[in-house]
Amino acid sequence: MRYLYLSCFLFIILSIFPEKSNAEEMVKIRLVNYIGETDHIDLQLEGAYSTLDPTLLLKEGVNYTLSVKKGTMYLSGEGMKQRIDGSLVLIPETYDIDHSVTMNKRSYLGAMEIELEENKYIRPINQLPLEDYLKGVVPFEVYPTWGLETLKAQALAARTYAFSHLNEEMDDTIKYQVYGGFTWNENTTKAVEQTTNEVITFQHQLIDALYSASNGGITENNAHVWGGEAMSYFPVKRDPYDPTEPWQYTIHKTQIDLDEIDWNNPNWWEESKEKDEKIIHAMKNWMQENGYPGDVKIIAIPRFELSKQQLDSKRTEKGSITVEFLHRLIDGTILFEQLDLNDVKLNKIRPMIGGNLFKSYLIDSLEYDRDMYTMKGKGFGHGVGMSQWGASIMGDSGKTYEEILQFYYPGTAITHFSKRIIDKTLD
C-alpha cells in the first residue's frame, strides 16, 4: 500500500507541472527541522488542492487540524472529522506561487504527502522542483543581506549538494541543508535564478559541495573528518578570508553534589538540578539515543581530556570523557552508573556537548580550574570546503562567485548540469 501511494503521488506530481518536470529535477524533502516531533499540526491551503481520496474535499482558507490519537491520524476542520488511512496527499491544481500548503504558519509550494511516523508523529514530505527548493534553502544557510556574488557561490554549493544527494530522501536539517519552504528572500532568489542549472564538477562529475560556517582560518580535508578517499579539491590550506572568530564554553565537573541531596524528601529526584542544564540536556538526549533510556541525572564529569594528536590542519582528532550519573529505570529502581569514552574520535564527544557550544575541532585549549572545564577554539563546523563567512568577505572585497568557488574547491569547474553528469555521479 505504501508503494501504491508513492507511485500515485509521483505520477500526479509530474502531471501538474509537466513543463517543470521536463526541465528540472524534482526533490522530496522530509520536514523535520521546523515541524519537529509532534502529534498536532495546524494546516491551511491557498489555492485549489485535491487529494487521492475522492471523498475528501478540502477548501481554501479553512483552518484544518491534523492530529494523532492511538496510532491513527485524523483531519478535522469546518465541522468535519475524518480518519486518514495511510498518507494524506495534497496536490495543487496548478504549480505556482499562488498555491501553497501552510503548516504551523510556514508555507510550502508544490505537493505534500503527510504520513504517520512511528505511530505517534505527523511527518510531512514536500515535493517540488529543485530550483524552487533552493530558493527556500539559500536564505536559511547564509544571511540574505550578504553580497550577490557570495549568495551565488552559496547557491551553486547548495544546488550541487542537492543534485549529488538526489537518490536520498533529504530532510530540512543541517544533516543535509536547512530548508525553510516558501520563505523566500529577494536577494537569495536572484542569486538562484542568475545561476540556474549551474553546478560544481570535478572531472565531469558532481562534487559533494560541502561547506561550513567558518573554518577558523584553515580548511580541512574530507578524509580527516569522515574517512574514505581524500579529494584533491578539499585541501588543507590557510584561509586568509575566514574571520577566525574565537569561541569558548565552560562546563562544571560536579553537576549535582550527592551530599546536598535530602534523601528523605520524596521529591528529591525532581528537585535535583544539574548546574549546566543547557549542556546537560544535550548530554541526556545523546545518552538516551545511545543505550541509556529512561530518566537520567548527571552527577559529575570526573574526566574530560583531549589527545595531543593533531591533524595537519591543527585540529584535534581524539579525546576522552567520563560521565557519572543516576539512572532511574521504568520500575523506579535507581542505579549509579558510569559512562566512559576513552581515546575516541571527537565526533563521538562533540554531540554530547552540542555543536552550538563545541563549535569545531580546531581547539586551542582545554583547561580545568575551580571545578570547571574551559574549552577554547576557532571556527564553526567541520571546515571542509567553503567557509560561508570567508565567502562573504571575499564577495565584499570584489571577488566573483567563480573566484570564491575556485578558492574553496580548487581544480573544479562550473558546469550546466545534464542528465549525463547526474547519472555518472550517482552510479
Q: What is the pLDDT of residues 374-394, one digit of tens each?
A: 999 999 999 999 999 999 999
The domain locations on the chain are 2-130, 136-243+383-426, 247-377
**Cα 322 to Cα 24, 230, 301, distances in angstroms:** 51, 32, 6
Residue 222 and residue 162: Cα distance in Å, rounded? 18
For 71-138, the three-class secondary structure string (H helix, E strand, C coil) is: CEEEEEECCEEEEECCCEEEEECCCCCCCEEEECCEEECCEEEEEEECCCEEEEEEEEEHHHHHHCCH
pLDDT score recorded for residue 421? 63
Q: Cell 505534500 identifies what position?
A: 112
Digit-coded pLDDT (tens) for 208-262: 999 999 999 999 999 999 889 999 999 999 999 999 989 999 999 999 999 999 9
pLDDT for 45 equals 97
pLDDT at 18 over 90: no
Mean pLDDT score, 27-55: 94
Going by DSSP bridges, is the β-strand pair 170-171/26-30 parallel, antiparallel, or unpaired? parallel
Contact between residue 63 and residue 44 where contact means Cβ atoms under 8 Å apart:
yes
What is the spatial distance between Cα 348 and Cα 410, in angstroms, rounded to a whole number? Answer: 30
Question: ∠ CA(258), CA(260), CA(262), 5° rounding?
Answer: 95
| Cα R_g (the chain), whole angstroms | 25
Half-sphere exposure of 203 (CA within 13 A, CB side): 6
Q: What is the pTM of this model?
A: 0.86
High-pLDDT (> 90) share of the chain, %: 82
Confidence (pLDDT) at 330: 82
The answer, yes or no, to whether residue 54 has pLDDT greater than 90, is no
* Residue 237 three-state SS: coil
Could you tell me which residues come within 8 angstroms of residue 302 by beta carbon, excluding any fewer than 6 positions away?
A: 253, 322, 324
Confidence band for 1, pLDDT divided at 50, 70 and 90: very low
The stretch 280-298 carries a mean pLDDT of 91
Vertex 302: Cα angle to 297 and 305 (nearest 5): 120
Q: Please report the DSSP string for 360-390 in residue order.
A: -SEEEEEEEETTEEEEEEE-BS--BSEEHHH
DSSP symbols for 182-222: S---HHHHHHHHHTTTEEEEETTEE----EESB-TTB-B-H
Q: Which is nearest to 408 in space by CA: 167, 207, 115?
A: 207
Q: What is the pLDDT of residue 2?
A: 43
